[in-house]
Amino acid sequence: MKNTNDYDMTFGPSSMSDKSSYLYTYACHETERALCLMELTELFGQGPDGADWLESERRVDPDRSPFLSASLDVKMTGDSIESIAEQAGRIRLNQTTFKVVCLKAGDRFSYDQLRGFERMVGGRIEGTAQMKSPDVTLGLISLNGIWRLGVLHEPERAWLEHKRKPQNYSTGLSSRVARALVNLAVPRINGATLMDPCCGMGNVLIEAFSMGIPAEGRDINPLAVRGARANLRHYGYDDNKVAVQDMNTLHGHYDAAVLDLPYNLCSVFPEDEQLRMLKSLRRLSDRAVIVSTEPLREQLTDTGWKVLSHCTTRKGSFVRDIWLCE
């Protein structure tokens, strides 16, 4: 996310308080809405304020989440579009080119109304308007009748390239779900370490590495490890972070873990082996995201885990349970 201080621009006094405010918009498919809300709550320490927006004092790069569609560094607020336009007259962009964009989230307006609001506000700003490739984009949004204006950041979504892995399972975690699981496990990076003890083709590891999170992966299946290494190399990551090993023999301790429990669509995973893996995971990490294809609450409790939150996500007819535990 480019810092607004990189541009030659000043904002005059506004009706804002001294506290920084950031506005985020989000979108998700209905089959992943519960996962989206669960992830946003962990990233921001609060649930969304509206059906498609969230306001927070916490700054989060919108590229962290697969569900965030934009972030707005709020600079001005007002109880009418006229008030915002008046305040916009105090903005000095000097040599910086700009455009004003009305976000589609929040209060609903027609297309013509939105374009009219953009012209009203943009026409009051001292600077050079540039619609195609401006130095800075200013976002405008109305939420429950209160308008906000600020610097708009849209995610680059480079992680979408992770959908085209050389190796993958048809039932493997999607890039979007894997990225959300990493954010659940490590909502604050700060040097936190992550373990994926059943890493499969490395989907979780790739998302962790792309966010700068130190991670390691293990899998008991040599073919899976071979595929994971190929995928890591494909995206320029260290394939030595993956090795063949039974998670029950792992030593050490990690800040967080993501465990996608093994499953077979044609048979039942033995409960005693499931319990053994959950106990091993408890020894390896104090916080974990556990993915299962069946109810797991009782087994989690029996192995010393406390369930913080739970949701399900669907891929066709294939349903996954996602448990955030400590």
Assigned token pair, 243: 């090795």
Q: CB atoms < 10 A from the CB of 14, how many?
A: 19
CA distance 91 to 164: 43
pLDDT value for 169: 83
pLDDT value for 270: 84
Q: Helix axis angle, 33-44 relative to 175-185, nearest 10°?
A: 30
Q: Beta strand 215-219 with 194-196: parallel, antiparallel or unpaired?
A: parallel
pLDDT value for 15: 44
CA distance 145 to 268: 54
Class of residue 66 by CB neighbours under 10 A (exposed 0-12, middle 13-18, buried 19+): buried
Query: At a CB cut-off of 8 Å and minimum separation 6, what does 55 contact?
Result: 21, 22, 23, 24, 49, 74, 143
Q: Is the whole-model pTM more than 0.95?
A: no
pLDDT value for 168: 87
Q: Give the model confidence (pLDDT) of 123-134 as tens digits.
A: 999 999 999 999
CA distance 148 to 141: 5
CA distance 223 to 200: 9
pLDDT value for 16: 43
Assigned token pair, 200: 């499969």
CA distance 250 to 285: 11
Nearest to 185 by CA among 208, 158, 203: 208
Q: In the chain, which ranges are E strands?
A: 22-26, 53-56, 68-78, 92-102, 126-129, 136-143, 146-153, 194-196, 215-219, 242-244, 256-260, 288-292, 307-315, 318-325
Low-confidence ranges of the chain (pLDDT < 50): 14-18
pLDDT value for 31: 92
Q: Give the model confidence (pLDDT) of 134-189 as tens digits.
A: 999 999 999 999 999 999 999 999 999 999 999 988 778 999 999 999 999 999 98
pLDDT value for 264: 60
Q: Beta strand 146-153 with 215-219: parallel, antiparallel or unpaired?
A: unpaired
Class of residue 163 by CB neighbours under 10 A (exposed 0-12, middle 13-18, buried 19+): exposed
